[in-house]
Amino acid sequence: MKLVFATNNINKLKEVNEIAKNSGVEFILPPDGFNPEENGQTFEENSYIKAYEAAKLSGQTALADDSGLCVDSLNGAPGLYSARYAPTQQQRIERLLKELSGKDNRNAKFVCCMTLVTPDGETLFQTTGICNGHITDKPDGVNGFGYDPVFIPDNYNITIARMDDSTKNSISHRGNALRQVLEFLSTTNL
């Protein structure tokens, strides 16, 4: 089954297809013109907004995620604004490390909310995946994307950017959320 995944981020699309590779579900990009206004106040609201926009555009049920990094000692920042914390990803990491300098508590979590929405706006399924860990003092590794070079998951001693894809996907917020979506899809006729 092909299912629209509401993103323009090719890295995310690759990641979800890798996680779903033995499930019988293949994710595809939404049609051209997908440009939702992410003006929700929560990961749940934003993932709904994206999924509904993609479902309307494609005329088919669509899945969206909304994700971000929440840092305890920054009161959950950058959170919803993870993608907009600074103009470039390198600057976003620099800002994060600067805000955390001198702070002992570097605990953080990646959060990913996924929502499956029909073209008429009905939510069929919604779930949230979490990956707990902490922020390093400096970036390390080249794999993955976003804040992966500065995030070490609990029970590991390397950043996600040093992990291979299958290790990341087995513990990531997105992997945890998507496995729940795939389980739902395996019991439902879309």
How big is the CA angle at 171 (ends 64 and 118), to the nearest 5 degrees? 15
- Max alpha carbon distance in the chain (Å)? 52
Would you count residue 5 as binding ligand IMP (CB under 6 A)? Answer: no
Of the candidate spans 28-36, 65-73, 101-109, 177-185, the one that interacts with ligand IMP by CB under 6 A turns out to be 65-73
Binding mask 107-136 for ligand IMP (x = CB under 6 A): ---x--------------------------
> Which CB, 61 or 82, lies closer to ligand IMP?
82
Q: Does 83 bind ligand IMP (CB under 6 A)?
A: yes
Pairs from 182-185 (Cβ < 8 Å, separation ≥ 24):
182/20, 182/23, 182/25, 184/116, 184/124, 184/125, 184/127, 185/1, 185/3, 185/23, 185/25, 185/116
Count of residues that bind ligand IMP according to CB under 6 A: 16
Asked if 64 interacts with ligand IMP (CB under 6 A), we say: no
So which residues are the catalytic ones? Answer: 66
- The residue range among 29-37, 114-122, 132-140, 144-152 that interacts with ligand IMP, by the rule CB under 6 A, is 144-152
Taking CB under 6 A as the rule, does residue 66 contact ligand IMP? yes
Give Cβ neighbours of residue 17 (< 8 Å, ≥ 6 apart): 26, 27
Read off the DSSP letter of residue 149. Answer: G
* CA pair distance 148, 161, nearest whole angstrom: 5
- Determine which residue in the list 36, 144, 153, 175 makes contact with ligand IMP, applying CB under 6 A: 144
Length reported for the chain: 190
Given a contact cutoff of 8 angstroms between Cβ atoms, the answer to whether 39 and 49 are in contact is yes
- Minimum separation from the CB atom of position 122 to ligand IMP (A): 22
Among 68, 133, 153, 175, binds ligand IMP (CB under 6 A): 68
Residues 63/29, Cβ–Cβ less than 8 Å: no
* Contact residues: ligand IMP, CB under 6 A: 9, 65-69, 82-83, 110, 144-148, 172, 174
